[in-house]
Amino acid sequence: MKSSDEKQLDALNEWIAAASQRGAIAILAHRNGDMDTIGSALALASSCEQAMACGVHLSRLAKRMVKELDAPFLMMDSDAPRWPRKLGGIIVVDSASAEQTGVEIPGDIPLCIIDHHSTNDWDPGADGLAINWPVSATTQIIHSYLHRFRPTALSEKVRTLLLAGLVTDTGRFRHADDFSFETAAALLRGSELDYRTFIESLEESSLTRSDKGAVAKALSRSQGIDAGGWWLLKSTASTQESVVCRVLMSAGADVAIVVRRRDGMTRLTSRASRQATVEGVHLGSILENLADVHGGEGGGHDGAAGWSCNLDVITVESAFIHALTGISRS
């Protein structure tokens, strides 16, 4: 670990100590929490008596893990969030912007941001702290902190949560690097956790019959386009966009996009191959720019990113294709 990273963990430890003197700490996950944000929030909350993990909606897998592990998670209402009384601080985990949390964050409470997105537009303010490491999963930052300052908090449950965040955010280690494997090894070492059983249980969140139908339809609608030298596979889906994207990527796409329209909002989910990112595609930046120009929220990682806005499906697709076509292969 770099000494600057160690200094940030020291600062985090001091920030948490000071916040818990003032009152309760809300550890806020991003909306529709995936395993990285929920695992990070729950693991960090378990290390501090005054802390509570909370957020607006859980993804299906996160919901199941929270239930199976009987983990305390406070569901929030985005219209009327009920914060713990006497709040000493808010820690937001794995969220690239305030909008992604889905709640209005009170302005007068000290804020700490722990994230790993390369596009990130937080301003933690004067009493705030921002930790942003270019790692595969936010749970790796949480693990580094717990390992250093709260090793006894690394229970079997906490290890399971952290590993689940790491495994899912790396796409089963497809987007991993040496540090991802280091974290995984550290989590497994000295634990009872059986990796194979663990992976099987993660995959149990298999698709429902209606999801499978929706995925099949989305695949039948898929189209290939040569977008300025990039082989783009695109489709629209009513659900399970990331599953559809994964299949399109296996079918040889440099870049895959799946667009979904629901409740007046259009959401674009995108993936790029490693080769495409090496040769110049950064989906997080593309979608952040498109959101700046056309509205909505966009951003993420180089190889995986999203954009939600109120434009129609065709406009969203064309804006993306236009932006991708403008990137020349390096």
Interface segment toward Mn ion; rule CB under 5 A; list 2-10, 31-39, 47-55, 318-326: 31-39
> Rounded distance, CA 233 to CA 246, Å?
11
> Rounded distance, CA 17 to CA 20, Å?
5
Closer Cβ to Mn ion, 36 or 288, answer by number = 36
* Interaction residues for Mn ion, span 33-62 (CB under 5 A): 36
Interface segment toward Mn ion; rule CB under 5 A; list 50-58, 86-94, 98-106, 321-329: 86-94
| One of 19, 145, 162, 169 touching Mn ion (CB under 5 A) | 169
Closer Cβ to Mn ion, 94 or 288, answer by number = 94
Closer Cβ to Mn ion, 24 or 161, answer by number = 161
**Smallest distance, Å, CB 217 to Mn ion?**
29
Query: Of 320, 308, 313, which Cα lies nearest the Cα of 97?
Result: 308
Interface segment toward Mn ion; rule CB under 5 A; list 30-38, 53-61, 66-74, 224-232: 30-38
Closer Cβ to Mn ion, 169 or 317, answer by number = 169
Q: List b or e across 164-193, with b for residues whose CB sees 16 or more CB atoms inside 10 angstroms.
A: bbbbbbbbeeebbeebbeebbebbeeebee
Closer Cβ to Mn ion, 36 or 317, answer by number = 36
> Rounded distance, CA 179 to CA 85, Å?
38
**Smallest distance, Å, CB 138 to Mn ion?**
5
* Interaction residues for Mn ion, span 260-299 (CB under 5 A): none
Q: Which residue is nearest to Mn ion (CB)?
A: 36
Amino acid (1-letter code) at residue 107: G
| CA angle in degrees (0–180, nearest 5) for 213-215-220 | 95
Interface segment toward Mn ion; rule CB under 5 A; list 6-14, 93-101, 205-213, 258-266: 93-101
Going by DSSP bridges, is the β-strand pair 111-115/87-93 parallel, antiparallel, or unpaired? Answer: parallel
Interface segment toward Mn ion; rule CB under 5 A; list 9-17, 161-169, 194-202, 273-281: 161-169
Query: Of 94, 7, 108, 20, which Cα lies nearest the Cα of 55?
Result: 94
**Smallest distance, Å, CB 136 to Mn ion?**
8
φ, ψ (nearest 5 deg) of residue 113: -110, 125
Closer Cβ to Mn ion, 50 or 168, answer by number = 168
Interface segment toward Mn ion; rule CB under 5 A; list 81-89, 133-141, 155-163, 201-209: 133-141
The 3-state DSSP class for residue 45 equals helix
Name the β-bridge partners of 73. 53
**Smallest distance, Å, CB 192 to Mn ion?**
26
| One of 55, 94, 255, 300 touching Mn ion (CB under 5 A) | 94
> Rounded distance, CA 34 to CA 110, Å?
25
Closer Cβ to Mn ion, 36 or 254, answer by number = 36
How would DSSP label each residue in 173-237?
TTT--HHHHHHHHHHHTT----HHHHHHHHHTSPPPHHHHHHHHHHHHT-EEEEETTEEEEEEE-
Structure tokens at 113: 């941001």
- With beta carbons less than 8 A apart as the criterion, state whether 66 and 73 touch: yes
Question: Residue 271's Cα: distance from chain center in Å?
Answer: 14
Closer Cβ to Mn ion, 81 or 300, answer by number = 300
Per CB under 5 A, does 302 bind Mn ion?
no
Interface residues with Mn ion (CB under 5 A)?
A: 36, 94, 138, 169
